[in-house]
Amino acid sequence: MGRNIFRRRKMRQESTEGESFSAELGTDLDKNLQDLQVMIGSPGDLVIRRVTLGVNVNAAVAFISGLSNKEAIHNDLIKNMQRNREKEAGSDTPDELLKQMQLDLISIGSVENTNSLDKLTIDLLSGKSVVYVDGAAEVLLLGTEKWETRSIDEPISESLIRGPREGFVENLQTNMMLIRRHIRDPNLRFDTNEVGRRSKKKLVVCYMEGIANPDIIKEVNHRLSSIDMDGAMESGYIEQWIEDSYLSPFPQMDNTERPDKVASSVLQGKVGILLDGSPFALIAPITIANAFKSPEDYYDRWLIGTFLRFIRYIGAFITMFLPALYIALVSYHQGMIPSQLAFSIAATREGVPFPAFVEAIIMGITMELLREAGARLPRTIGQTIGIVGGLVIGEAAVSAGIVSPIMVIVVALTAVASFTIPLYSVAISFRLLRFGFMIAAAVLGLYGIVLVYIMINIHIVNLKSMGVPYSTPFAPTFIKDWKDLVLRGPIPMMNERPRNLQPKDKRSGNLRR
Amino acid sequence: MLLSKKLNLLLLTMSIFLAGCWDRIDIEERGFVIGTALDLADQKSNEDYEVIMTNQFVIPAGLGSITEGSGGQEAFMNISETGTSLFRTNRKFSQLNSQVPFYQHLKVLLISDEVMKQPNLFSDMMDFYIRDHAMRRSIRLVVAEGEARDILNLKPKNVNVPSMYLDDLMENVDRNTSTIKPVHVGEVQELILNEQSYVLPIVKKAGDQAEYGNVVVINGESNQMVGSLDEEETAGLGFVNGHTEGGVLEIQVDDDLIAIEITEIKQNMNIKNRQKDQLRVGISIDIKGNIAEHFGGRSVLKEQYVNKIEKSAEKKVKELVGNTIEEVQGELNTDVLGIGKTLYKFHYDFWQKIKNDWEKGENYFSSAVIDVNANVEIDRVGSNDRIKMSEGG
């Protein structure tokens, strides 16, 4: 089904091609400026500065005030234009004048020529300034982009105890710089695309030439080229457009604010996708094992890293199974609980008006409400909500006899366990699947849990991320990759790149053990 | 394919959800039976008995929690029902108790000696406990001296529920030579199917407490109790067939009392000849132990003295085992020593010839000559040599 829709998207895209118009510039300055104003609707932040060059040649500089470096325009452009009238007078034709200005007068790094009104407008709107000369068929586009940006901060969603403190910002150039600082290799590629019919945002595909499998790069580029939408506000738009299955509860791409994570993934042979205006980079392809990996695993010694991973796997299983197990055991398989525990559960459930399933659903939803409320509110109030919700509501619900104390333990443990999973999007889908397990447990007991677990496993082995099976290296099995799976092997031993990505260059080091 | 794929899928899904939740009984609606006692009510005719089944239900609220305590509520409730078939009797409990009897946490099954004394009644009653799907094979089976249901009413001060108390009591088998390993229902099935005689542990009332120890001897053919062994005889039996795990051996050496803590018992039985009427059986028992208590002032570090202690202990073991053999060969005429089993394992043809005359008819078992050979080894002598000096030093 998913494939059909994919095909339909492509067809629609083909039918709309050829609609973009390209208006040519004229030679008349006033007409050209008027065209520009008509084109973009003469907004308040459009600045047009008229200058006289050489022997009475009219010229103009246009730029968007918020997006351009005004200092550079004043000092390196307009000042130079006004002070060198003798030199300017040497040129005979306006085109020659333009050429001379480009070579002699303008001391700004990036200068381009164009005669397309279309390109001019887009470049103007992305911060370049335009130099018009009356009578010339072309204009100069100067790279004067500069706007207010957030400074590089510690990534809020992925803070580590040990590791670099810098995170991506909204500026694409800065983000590329952050990655380059980790990898100074000529083979590091940043392929630039444009995305969005209206937003025309820059999107960069980042990979290592000679390491990443060309098929993966081809697949990524193919899918990116199919994107057809008005605007991509966040890299999430891109992720959802190019993912393999939109019906799956599991994310098929990693998103991160950490340049070090992108850099290490790129070195393994993965592909990073950066979108201008979004501090979240995408990494593809990923496998289910990525949900349990955190950059910190590698920064601490291997024993610690391995232990942390074990904890996360346990956490994932608790998140998904604990409430369901509670329901199954309490409603169906009382014989499987150790006697003393069975009696104490029976004692605490005495007087609870709801069956275990309803009890679990009530508490599960309460927990999700609290989490969502805490995420929506400002951080200071959010913490208060957590305390009020967790302690007061839990305690009150127990003493009011609505839920049993054991249920509170189950829910609290589930919540805590779900927060151990480093990939936020996976943690949420695990918590979602938990409700499926709970329903199955309520209907069929342990048998139901087993059935749903089998269904999820079947789904996982069917799922692919950029054509790479989601369940590797478990199945298809790559034993050599297992040293960086549940176990995090010592760094000197990890001298091979993950085989499941089929990198062109298999070894990352020559030390053999 | 009359139905379309989608309809099929819909029907399949609906069948799960519409029929769902069968067998769902929440934990608080279960009546946890933790102990059961079986007493004889009445013998209607020759092979037709009425049995009183007493179930001990746990009252979870009465168990109390660590912080709250039970608040004076009783933690258990005994309900008795009379009937001929146990399954129907068990169903009758639902007429009395609001909670459905739930047997998966059943720990102990007490059977009164009156029941055991009837031929075939015990094995017939075991069928319910083996056949029913809710029954665990780990239920511990014990014979009660006197009325079994009285023991379910005992109130020891430290444990709230008598059955749990009994269950814990049966854990302490390696402390005394007269306690044997508890027998599980699963093993009972084996014993009954083997048609060889066996022993079951006894529990009896002792004031507010129960006392676990000694055994009853059951004839393998009729599954009927033929007698019981006292403390010393049980110890002797334990040495021979390995029912005992440990215990204390009290011996006298030159008027000094010595207690040996047994740490390991190994036994070996071999058949020395194949004469039907005068079978020779050799039993060798290896015991390892520590000196746990020593009266008198002699040094236990002297090898000669230790050898002497070992010799006395061997004598004591032989004496105990001898008594047991005398009792089971003479009065009871029941092979609980496991000779029949050894013959079955290692001399099968010979066993086929004599098995019908083993405990009856020609009584080959009684006429067997049993040689006992004991070997005691003292491993450790404890933390000190002696507590006082004596002239013998």
| pLDDT tens for the 513 residues of chain A, in order | 444 544 544 444 444 444 444 467 888 888 888 888 888 888 888 999 998 888 888 899 999 988 888 888 888 888 888 888 888 887 778 888 888 888 888 888 888 888 888 888 888 988 899 999 888 888 899 988 888 888 999 998 888 888 999 999 999 999 999 999 999 999 999 999 999 898 889 999 999 999 999 999 999 999 999 999 998 999 999 999 999 999 999 999 999 999 999 999 999 999 999 999 999 999 999 999 999 999 999 999 999 999 999 999 999 999 999 999 999 999 999 999 999 899 989 988 888 899 999 999 999 998 888 888 888 888 878 778 777 777 788 888 888 888 898 999 999 899 999 999 998 889 999 999 999 999 999 988 999 999 999 999 999 999 999 999 999 899 899 998 998 999 999 998 888 899 989 999 888 887 765
SS3 B381: coil
State whether A443 and A464 are in the same domain.
yes
- The per-residue pLDDT for B390 is 65
Is residue A347 within 8 angstroms of chain B, CB to CB?
yes
Domain spans of chain B, in order of start: 28-229, 237-393
Q: Which tens digit of pLDDT belongs to each residue from A79-115?
A: 888 888 888 887 778 888 888 888 888 888 888 888 8
State whether A209 and A308 are in the same domain.
no
State whether A441 and A309 are in the same domain.
yes
Asked whether residue A13 is assigned to any structural domain, the reply reads no
Which member of B28, B105, B134 has the closest CB to residue A350? B28
Is residue B65 within 8 angstroms of chain A, CB to CB?
yes
Query: CA–CA separation, A48 vs B274, rounded Å?
Result: 124
SS3 A72: helix
Asked whether residue A488 is assigned to any structural domain, the reply reads no
- The per-residue pLDDT for A77 is 87
SS3 B228: strand
Q: Do A334 and B104 touch (CB under 8 A)?
A: yes
State whether A336 and A447 are in the same domain.
yes
Q: Do B30 and A334 touch (CB under 8 A)?
A: yes
Identify the band that residue B65 occupies on the pLDDT scale cut at 50, 70 and 90.
low
State whether A179 and A281 are in the same domain.
yes
State whether A108 and A223 are in the same domain.
no
Is residue B25 within 8 angstroms of chain A, CB to CB?
yes
- The per-residue pLDDT for A512 is 63
Is residue B14 within 8 angstroms of chain A, CB to CB?
no
Instruction: Look up residue B21 and give its DSSP letter.
Output: T
SS3 A198: coil
Is residue A334 within 8 angstroms of chain B, CB to CB?
yes
- The per-residue pLDDT for A16 is 43
* B328 φ/ψ angles, rounded to the nearest 5 degrees: -75, -30
Which member of A342, A348, A356 has the closest CB to residue B32? A342
Is residue B27 within 8 angstroms of chain A, CB to CB?
yes
Q: Which chain B residue's Cα is nearest to A354?
A: B26
Q: Do B27 and A339 touch (CB under 8 A)?
A: no
Number of inter-chain CB pairs under 8 A, A vs B: 70
Query: CA–CA separation, A302 vs A296, rounded Å?
Result: 10
Q: Is the whole model's pTM more than 0.90, yes or no?
A: no
SS3 A207: strand
What are the tokens at A154?
A: 């510690």
Asked whether residue A405 is assigned to any structural domain, the reply reads yes
- The per-residue pLDDT for A392 is 84
Place of tokens 């009011």: A400
Asked whether residue A233 is assigned to any structural domain, the reply reads yes
Report the domain count for chain A: 3
Asked whether residue A11 is assigned to any structural domain, the reply reads no
Of A378-387, B188-197, B216-225, B343-352, the range with the lowest mean pLDDT is A378-387
Q: Do B65 and A347 touch (CB under 8 A)?
A: yes
* Cα three-residue angle A61-A67-A69, rounded to 5 degrees: 65
Asked whether residue A160 is assigned to any structural domain, the reply reads no
Strands (DSSP E) along A359-494, which ranges?
A: 464-465, 468-469
SS3 B276: coil
The distance of B295 to chain A (nearest Cα, Å) reads 44
State whether A319 and A420 are in the same domain.
yes
B237-393: CATH architecture: 2-Layer Sandwich (3.30)
Q: Do A339 and B61 touch (CB under 8 A)?
A: no
State whether A109 and A186 are in the same domain.
no
Q: Which domain holds residue A321?
A: 299-469
Contact B220, B122 (CB under 8 A): no
The distance of B105 to chain A (nearest Cα, Å) reads 6
Query: Of B6, B13, B24, which to mutate for an interface test with A (greatest number of A Cβ within 10 Å)?
Result: B24
Which member of A331, A342, A443 has the closest CB to residue B105? A342
The distance of B27 to chain A (nearest Cα, Å) reads 5
Report the pLDDT averaged over residues B281-291.
93
Asked whether residue A163 is assigned to any structural domain, the reply reads no
What are the tokens at B356?
A: 């019908």
Element (H, E) at B279: none
Q: Which chain A residue's Cα is nearest to B167?
A: A339
Report the range out of A55-64, B63-72, B102-111 with the highest average pLDDT: B102-111
Q: In terms of Cα–Cα distance, which of A100, A459, A45, A451 is closest to A250? A: A459
Is residue A84 within 8 angstroms of chain B, CB to CB?
no
Query: CA–CA separation, B51 vs B232, rounded Å?
Result: 33
Asked whether residue A181 is assigned to any structural domain, the reply reads yes
The distance of B213 to chain A (nearest Cα, Å) reads 25
Q: In terms of Cα–Cα distance, which of B154, B155, B202, B206 is closest to B182? A: B202
Q: Do A330 and B21 touch (CB under 8 A)?
A: no
Q: In terms of Cα–Cα distance, which of A104, A125, A108 is closest to A43? A: A125
Which member of A346, A443, A444 has the closest CB to residue B28? A346
Q: Do B105 and A335 touch (CB under 8 A)?
A: yes
| Dmax (CA) of chain B | 105
Please, what is the end-to-end C-alpha distance for chain B in angstroms? 100
Instruction: Look up residue A74 and give its DSSP letter.
Output: I
- Cα A208 to chain centroid distance, Å, stands at 19
The distance of B193 to chain A (nearest Cα, Å) reads 27
**Mean of per-residue pLDDT scores for chain B:** 88
Q: Do B17 and A443 touch (CB under 8 A)?
A: yes
Q: Do B63 and A344 touch (CB under 8 A)?
A: yes
The string of DSSP letters for A89-115 reads HT--SHHHHHHHIIIII---S-EEEE-
Q: Which tens digit of pLDDT belongs to each residue from B10-56?
A: 887 777 777 666 778 888 888 999 999 999 987 767 677 899 999 99
Which of A122, A142, A162 is the C-terminal boundary of a domain? A142
